[in-house]
Amino acid sequence: MVSFNNTEIAFRSKSNAKLRKAYYLFKLMGKPTLASAGGKLAELAFSLRLPIGGIIRKTVFQQFCGGESMEQCALKIEELAVSNVKTILDYSVEGKASEKDFNRTMKQTLASLDFAHKNENIPFAVFKITGVARFGLLEKVNYGKTLTETEEQEYDRALHRISKICKKAAQFKIPVMIDAEESWIQDAIDGIVEDMMKVYNKEAAIIYNTLQMYRHDRLDYFKRIHQDSKHNGYFLGMKLVRGAYMEKENERALKNGYETPIQANKDASDTDYDAALKYACENIHGISICAGTHNEKSSLQLIKLMELYEIEKNDPKVYFAQLLGMSDHISFNLAEDGFNTVKYVPYGPVKDVLPYLIRRAEENTSIAGQTGRELNLIQAEIKRRKK
Ligand SMILES: Cc1cc2nc3c(=O)[nH]c(=O)nc-3n(C[C@H](O)[C@H](O)[C@H](O)COP(=O)(O)OP(=O)(O)OC[C@H]3O[C@@H](n4cnc5c(N)ncnc54)[C@H](O)[C@@H]3O)c2cc1C
């Protein structure tokens, strides 16, 4: 059985200096007020054009991102590949909303497919629908509101961008994952992804949707869409995550007086997450999954399920995925044992990936035990090396 306690394997790629740096970074992020004030200050400093790019580049950016461009990520990809950990390049520029920005994201995603086509260490591509389509437009579509003629044209352009990415992914046979986002645009996203799956997943799962198991309706949706895939003859691709927008979801539901889509408690999210893993393994012939999680229990659960359902460790229908700079003890130990393991490697100009970095800093303070766990592991490895 894989052990996540082996820090030698987990941090093999980190020099002593890099390890110490990571230690101080997680220690700083562990202070919630500092982490949240730091994020706001950084945003303000960028808007005032203060020269803070250098500091961010040498700290959080270096920990959580691969580089400012795809080419700059090459070293990181190699470094991971030495330990058999693969890469998913993630153009993490967020909060942009012009047609120019949407075209740029589409081009970056198409280029990432070209890059992956030439590099066996990149088994997937990924993008967010809000990277290529306007949020407000998706919200209107989500609620079935009538679009104006101009909006219809805008929506057609967005669909065209998405189709272009999916078509290229199919042509190269490189699966592409589509991230899950806020629940008030997720029905629109699901609709688009389902349409793409019907076209491109006829022979294998090329298009992957994402299920956020912190929503109480997702397990039912998973089963429903699986029946649909059987009925309509296509393969299902699913990334399974717990979900990143819990506070925002709860706040909006409270403010607008509707029932929150979020589970009643963390246990319920965990139970549904593991149930979704089980459902996928039971139906592995028609479903490919990528377990995007930093949860040790769920990762071990998936290993057990793979044994139970006699799924090979390197079966391309099952991948484990973590974010760069987090939970290396899970990624590197899984990869060492022969399981398919990938890291999301975000990239983009420092200023533009700031929202992503702020989310990581917040995640590392708000999730109980997460920072403590990273810190303990790094500390244990520093001690081990001294011995
Ligand atoms: C490779 C990868 C891809 C990802 N892609 C996406 C994506 O497309 N969309 C997206 O939204 N997120 C995505 N995420 C982020 C992911 O949702 C968070 O990393 C995740 O929520 C952290 O949970 P965990 O599974 O690591 O486990 P844990 O740390 O055990 O769980 C923490 C999570 O549990 C849930 N939770 C916490 N408290 C409660 C509560 N009181 N009630 C109900 N639920 C609770 C929340 O989702 C919280 O984030 C991705 C993560 C990875 C690693």
- Domains (range + CATH), the chain: 1-65+353-387 (no CATH), 68-347 (3.20.20.220)
356 lines ligand 1 (CB under 6 A): no
Task: Assess contact for 123 and 116: CB atoms under 8 A.
Answer: yes
**In this predicted model, what pLDDT tens digit does every residue of 278-337 receive, in sequence order?**
999 999 999 999 999 999 999 999 999 999 999 999 999 999 999 999 999 999 999 999
Segment 182-208 mean pLDDT: 98
| pLDDT cut 70: percent of the chain above it | 93
In the structure, what pLDDT confidence band is assigned to residue 172 with cuts at 50, 70 and 90?
very high
Strand locations in 154-212, DSSP E? 176-178, 207-212
Amino acid at 191: G
Distance from the alpha carbon of residue 199 to the mean position of ligand 1, in angstroms: 29
Query: Among 242, 247, 343, which is best to mutate for testing ligand 1, by the most ligand atoms less than 8 A from CB?
Result: 242
Task: Assess contact for 173 and 201: CB atoms under 8 A.
Answer: no
Q: What pLDDT does 35 receive? A: 63
pTM: 0.94
For residue 122, with 0-12 CB atoms within 10 Å meaning exposed, 13-18 middle and 19 or more buried, which class applies?
A: buried
Segment 342-348 mean pLDDT: 97
Amino acid at 187: D
How many whole angstroms separate alpha carbon 324 and alpha carbon 327?
8
How many whole angstroms separate alpha carbon 364 and alpha carbon 366?
6
Distance from the alpha carbon of residue 67 to the mean position of ligand 1, in angstroms: 24
